[in-house]
Chain A
């Protein structure tokens, strides 16, 4: 809630103007019955058409004013709520861009997406709602009560009684209903979770013939959700009619008291009855905002988490801006992923010269990807330092660093847009010739040429779906367009068949020229031809040298070699 208030404060001016119009709107609503009573008491009773017309025109005038106020209120309120929504989204998105991968891993991308999309909508609706309900309802309530007292002063005790009872009921409704609606929300999350899980692993479910078990699981969760819903709705079922009953009995009492005294004007009585109705409506609105409030609170908590997430990485105040040539040095580097006690890298000391091609091999989980992720600062070393051309990466300008380093990740990710646009990610100013050349080296030119639109083929949403191997080749071409000083290939040719892979690597060697290349792979045949090979196991360096050296000295390397090539001697 604090968060919402904070954003409202930014638009306090418009918010107040809108509240002002709202107040006037509520007042107009309140004065209408007063004129109605005049029409009856002064006009109809005395059969005075002139009076009726006079008060009728007054009433219409007030109704018009009310309508104008309502329209204005709506204009301002919509502007405030939508602008706040926009700002919330913008601020969240901005903060997410600043976060490091460590933060993003922790918050989980899917969760961040729902927060930016769904949760903001919830908060927006709530803000729109509070203007209409939370502000208008009390004004109407209080105004109506004052007017009843003015019109028929002897109703004070009755009014007090009704108000007290209704307040108790509304409070009770909130006390009991709030946690129940909270439970509904939790059960809903679970239901969605189970559904999503089923859909994403349907192949396994079928292969293990576990459809029935999954069905039971789903039924259980669905039943729990239904029960939670029932419990929450029952709270409303009890309290809502009770509140109506209280106010309606107020009407009866009001008539009763008027009857026991003489000289009550019928019109005034009608007006009072009308006011009671307005009170009732206002109270009903308040108690009905309950679940909206629950949802908005939950949503604003989740939004706050994103907004308050501090980037895990230190951003240097005066970054060094060296000319990056491609010499890399890791000094006593250790690394552990946040929240995991296990060291993913352990005391790594290596030096990579400019222009060298280094193969990195090791078993799954040995830390190959983790190691290369430290170079463009996707993550920061827990201990030790990573130097590039003699500059500590944590003190280097991140933009400069990442412009000099091109990464081809394991999972090829492309974005909606044309193939050309995707390749231009590498370098905004790249000429078409450069794009074609990169695509050629990455063995992507063929399949691009085969598609009717060529480089203007649309990818992603509503566009063409590529195979895994095609995506990998485009992802590689995108990195090559960058013409980087350091090129990191993180096991990015896994979906290519051996022939294509070897073609790609051959072309790469010609094109990369003086760039430093880090080639992560699980295939020994891929790394064997590099200048030097870094062999890793369990987060530590097992060997670092040429194929020949490692075959002589490194046991882990020999093991990998024999497991893939077999006992025969090729080298």
Chain B
């Protein structure tokens, strides 16, 4: 009676389709090692998990014992004996079963989630310490799926599978034991049925696996097309490509539909065929029972009843176990991807004896700096330059000449391959990373804003700041006027990336953010490229004010904006080609002078 009453595991909550019967299974590379690491991650929750696993074992009790007790009851009823005690036993068994299941599910709900929260937290805590190179190397979408999907897979599958696996294993073992106890001969016959089912499952999944893989491939192709065409809608419209896009989409859509139907139909053979085998087994056992009964080798009708009940549910757990094991494998493979991230080297720790950097003067010196993102492809070679404290240096050069790379090195997003960068006479790597980053106020090319209020975006990283300070920072860069025009002023919540603001307004906010941080050294990486020149002038005047006693490094396309810099450094192909003041460089009549003239002179 407890047949099939193990609750179907709650479907995955997070929209990842669980590879179902014979679905695409990804095999883990190192099952044992990964499981060991997962186990280590459960530290602090092991007591709870232990209890759950113990309860899972007990959850099989009702499945194992109830057919036996039921058989006894049926036999007693048949022979007119007293059944009260047997029925009380059965009722007690069911009550136990209820309690075990309830406790198991209830604890699982909290402990399972806590473990997953812990894993997710550990993962994120690690991810945030990873160097920028890690993020530059990988696609956001892929990282996203590791942080969300893979972790959820671990959660739903491993926690559920593990307890189900345990329950079913105990069930199979228990039922097998009971059957052996009741009749070794009939048990042997039943095993033949199990063998048949194994054979069937193997044959069907061999086919379905291929079909599901094809489905997955078609789905990927369709999703890629949708992503590209919808995010590039303006271009599609501009070139009247709507019909072509629809045709292409339609073809991929048809292919996906066909592949899915084929996979589903094929996998749909498994359960009905299994049912037939199950029935075949039942009939075979019945016939044998009848023969044995006739020959008088069995006299107990209760035994027959019990055995037939056992046969009905003997085969099912095998299939379930095979299924769960597949899910389990996929989840472990997901866990491996998660561990791959955990194995990434974080930003190097501070050197031993790293000094703190409180109020740097701002003397920067690059000594024979060389760097390449990929070995063998140098981006900067032998760059040596001095930027004295309190002065403004501008870096100019064609696209790809290494300007942004220089900034990446200054802020230690990346470390130099050779040579060294000194701040106040000490190698950057001798300072504590935290202090170093706080010494730089950075405004970057991409205007990343956060889904928070305007105020919180300006005082990013310092939520305790007063409103006056925030206003002041906004005022300095001239962002106050547009902020006050926003519906809720400084409390306006910016949705994803501040898309409701214009590019220029977003840029102003990022500048205000850097101003607020009031770091001793300012770095502007083409910060004003998307602000119009008039506004840029305003910002520059403001920056001049705050730059007065600071070291600043500016990258700009528009040469007019950096003409007054104390020193202009012209990078060409990873090397310093020219440096000096605007006048000096103009007098030199080299690359800079030519660039300047093309930008400002009439054709």
Contact = CB atoms under 8 A, between A and B. Distances in A.
Interface stretch (A272-280, A316-324, A347-355, A385-393): A272-280
Q: Which of B78, B147, B272, B496 has the most CB atoms of chain A within a 10 A radius of its CB? A: B272
Interface in B206-229: 222-224, 226-229
B534 A226 contact: no
A209 B600 contact: no
A461 interface: yes
Contacts of A273: 1, 70
A179 interface: no
Interface string A205-221: 11111111111001100
A47 interface: yes
Interface stretch (A2-10, A156-164, A325-333, A495-503): A495-503
B97 interface: yes
Interface stretch (B231-239, B326-334, B371-379): B231-239
A121 B18 CA distance: 12
Interface string A56-95: 1101100110111111001100110011011001100110
A184 interface: yes
Contact of B282 (A59, A276, A281): A59
B260 to A, nearest CB: 5
Nearest to A261: B77
Contacts of A49: 287, 290-291, 294
A382 interface: no
Nearest to B215: A82
Given A207-B442, A244-B101, A366 B532 contact: yes
B253 A90 contact: yes
Interface in B386-418: 398-400, 411, 413
Interface in B114-135: 114, 116-117, 120-121, 124-125, 128-129, 132, 135
A236 B444 CA distance: 49
B399 A468 contact: yes
A553 interface: no
Contact of B600 (A197, A461, A525): A525
B308 A40 contact: yes
Contact of A563 (B97, B121, B147, B536): B536
Contacts of A256: 83, 87
Contacts of A364: 502-505, 530-532, 535
B293 A255 contact: no
Nearest to A416: B228
Interface stretch (B31-39, B176-184, B187-195, B273-281): B273-281
Interface in B87-101: 87, 90-91, 94-95, 97-98, 101
B600 A570 contact: yes
9 contacts: A36-B286, A202-B132, A238-B106, A270-B305, A364-B504, A413-B231, A415-B228, A469-B399, A498-B595
Given A199-B135, A219-B121, 16 more contacts: A36-B286, A82-B264, A86-B256, A96-B233, A117-B223, A121-B15, A207-B411, A207-B440, A207-B442, A242-B98, A242-B102, A277-B3, A413-B234, A467-B399, A559-B534, A570-B600
B287 A209 contact: no
Nearest to A245: B98
Contacts of A101: 233-234, 237
Given A285-B8, A409-B235, A203 B268 contact: no
A82 B235 contact: no
Closest 6 CB pairs of A and B: A364-B504, A74-B268, A201-B448, A237-B105, A363-B532, A233-B109
A512 interface: no
A71 B144 contact: no
A259 B418 CA distance: 91
Contacts of A70: 268, 271-272, 275
A204 B304 contact: no
A226 B238 CA distance: 46
Contact of B257 (A86, A201, A498): A86
A318 B533 CA distance: 45
Given A237-B109, A362-B532, A52 B101 contact: no
A300 interface: no
Contact of B290 (A43, A229, A259, A523): A43
Nearest to B100: A241
Given A43-B290, A205-B128, A113 B231 contact: yes
B396 to A, nearest CB: 10
